[in-house]
Amino acid sequence: MKVLHVVDSMDPKKGGISRAIQTMAIESAKMGVITEVVSLDVYQLPLFNSHFTIHTLGPSKTPWSYSSKLIPWFLENISRFDTIIVHGLWLYHSYAVTAALKRIKNLWYKKSKLKIPKLFIMPHGMLDPYFQRSSDRKIKAVRNWAYWKLIEGQVVNNADAILFTCKEECRLANEPFKPYHPKQEFIVGLGIEPPPAFNGLMLKDFLNICPITNHPYILFLGRIDAKKGVDHLIQAYERIVSDMISNPGTSVTNNSYNFRNGIPKLVIAGPGLETPYGQKILSMVKSNPFLNKSVCFPGMLAGNAKWGAFYGCEAFVLPSHQENFGIAVVEALACCKPVLISKQVNICHEIKGFKGGLIDEDSLEGTYNNLKSWFKMSDQDRKTMGLNGRKCFENHFEAVPATERLIQTMNAI
């Protein structure tokens, strides 16, 4: 089987889709599937070239990510593939695939008998109602509704099937747009390969970037973006610190916090500090003397430094307002780390079932409650929660079974 993945960008700074495609391609290759990727940027992944080929047709133009090269490339190459998977919506690449397929079917198919590949759409949470309901996206919501009526509705409804990463994503996708009637829907999941075994070089590489030696810390790793709730995280952490300062050794309810090794620092790792929102986060931290000493911004982490951050942390935290899957959440689970997340992280139900973390609302109060509950837990309960998280990873989020489900789905249609 030959599969073509179509995506706007393979740059990992733009989100987890790049990582998801890499994992699918690498694991599929082990199962005899030949994979190619076409993207509308110039980002290459040289380390993975032995597993799959990347065709970069960028840089694209306009906010729509338009590329005049894409449809001609499809018309020339599309018959080489058995299956096409389009990752993400609302940009030119999803329209271009369907436009090229329509042209082949209408103009050439009857005469030349060209093979028409099956078309799957994997929205990666881009049909989540959050994007239509968020108060700061009112203009974009109107734009998306119009775009759905003109273009994207046809892309989704005419595809052979829509692929979802979890049950909650599938459920939510049915809410924001009408008419929504895809031919078929499948929950194929998403997975990551198990992390490399811990070694001292990992922690050393992380501490070289974020010098907090011998001090416990909790970890946020992701884009520093309003959707991720980083401002609530900063404010909730500040409230925990205020509890300690005003009532040393106790909380406001007279239940002891478990700060055996001191108040953990907060590491906020990821790209986005240069954005207006990132600058707002920096200002919040710098305006408070304690936060300025206790919050670390190491930037985007990769390789040993990333795994060192995961293995060295006390817990992982993500109070996101919308998170379709959350690869970093799964990476934390795989490293036996408890996760403190919001109900808006779509895989929260699987995590709750295994008692692998704490889950609350995507609000300041919910974030504070998660931190407060975590800091009151015993060392043994924290360890047990981390082990439960690893079991959750092994049962739901490992790469091999997720890839097998994907291949079975592609073969079944």
∠ CA 156-157-158, nearest 5°, is: 95
User: SS3 breakdown of the chain: % helix, strand, coil, rounded to 5?
Assistant: 50, 15, 35
Could you tell me the pTM of the whole model?
Answer: 0.90
Mean pLDDT across the stretch 200-226?
93
Least confident of 93-107, 157-171, 276-290, 314-328: 93-107
Q: What is the DSSP letter of 78?
A: G
Predicted confidence at residue 158, as pLDDT, reads 95
pLDDT digits (tens, 9 = 90+) for 216-268: 999 999 999 999 999 999 999 999 888 776 665 444 344 466 666 678 999 99
Distance CA 288, CA 413 (A): 57
| Contacting residues for 149 by C-beta, under 8 A, at least 6 apart | none
Predicted confidence at residue 14, as pLDDT, reads 81
pLDDT digits (tens, 9 = 90+) for 6-22: 999 998 888 789 989 99
- Where along the chain do its domains lie? 2-192+398-412, 200-397
Predicted confidence at residue 110, as pLDDT, reads 56
Instruction: Characterize 105-133 residue by residue with b for buried, 16 or more Cβ atoms within 10 angstroms of its Cβ, and e for exposed.
Output: eeeeeeeeeeeebbbbbbbbbbbbebbbe
Torsions phi, psi for 228 (to 5 deg): -85, -10
Predicted confidence at residue 256, as pLDDT, reads 64
Beta strands in 40-112 (DSSP E): 53-56, 83-87
The SS3 of residue 239 is helix
Say which CATH superfamily domain 2-192+398-412 falls into.
Glycogen Phosphorylase B; (3.40.50.2000)
pLDDT digits (tens, 9 = 90+) for 321-336: 999 999 999 999 999 9
List, in sequence order, every residue forming a beta bridge with 166; answer none if it has no partner.
none
Give which of 85, 116, 184, 150 is closest to 403, Cα–Cα: 85
| Contacting residues for 183 by C-beta, under 8 A, at least 6 apart | 157, 158, 159, 160, 161
Give which of 139, 342, 221, 263 is closest to 147, Cα–Cα: 139
Predicted confidence at residue 45, as pLDDT, reads 64
| Contacting residues for 84 by C-beta, under 8 A, at least 6 apart | 3, 4, 6, 78, 97, 117, 118, 119, 120
pLDDT digits (tens, 9 = 90+) for 357-378: 999 999 999 999 999 999 999 9
Scanning the structure block, which residue is given the tokens 């970093």? 328
Mean pLDDT across the stretch 34-47?
82
Predicted confidence at residue 413, as pLDDT, reads 86
Predicted confidence at residue 214, as pLDDT, reads 81
Q: Is the pLDDT of residue 146 over 50?
A: yes
Written as one letter, the residue type at 386 is G
Q: What is the CATH number of domain 200-397?
A: 3.40.50.2000
Predicted confidence at residue 357, as pLDDT, reads 98
Q: In what order do the strands lie in the sheet with 185-187?
A: 53-56, 34-39, 2-7, 83-87, 118-122, 161-164, 185-187
| Contacting residues for 348 by C-beta, under 8 A, at least 6 apart | 168, 341, 342, 359
Predicted confidence at residue 105, as pLDDT, reads 80
Predicted confidence at residue 16, as pLDDT, reads 85
Binned at pLDDT 50, 70 and 90, residue 104 comes out as: confident
> How long is the chain?
413
Mean pLDDT across the stretch 324-349?
97
Q: Is the pLDDT of residue 44 over 80?
A: no
Binned at pLDDT 50, 70 and 90, residue 213 comes out as: confident
Predicted confidence at residue 252, as pLDDT, reads 38
Distance CA 386, CA 337 (A): 4
List, in sequence order, every residue forming a beta bridge with 162; answer none if it has no partner.
121, 185
Predicted confidence at residue 114, as pLDDT, reads 66
Q: Give kind and range of the element (H or E) at residue 185.
A: strand 185-187
Binned at pLDDT 50, 70 and 90, residue 65 comes out as: very high
Return the number of other C-beta atoms located less than 10 Å from residue 258's C-beta.
14
Q: Give kind and range of the element (H or E) at residue 219.
A: strand 217-221
Predicted confidence at residue 253, as pLDDT, reads 41
Q: What is the DSSP letter of 61?
A: B
- Domain 2-192+398-412 and domain 200-397, same fold? Reply is yes
Task: Give the mean pLDDT of the chain.
Answer: 91
Q: Is the pLDDT of residue 288 over 50?
A: yes
Distance CA 166, CA 183 (A): 18
Distance CA 378, CA 260 (A): 10
Predicted confidence at residue 212, as pLDDT, reads 87
Q: Write the DSSP assignment of 354-406 as a string of letters.
A: HT-EEEE-SSHHHHHHHHHHHHHS-HHHHHHHHHHHHHHIIIIIBHHHHHHHH
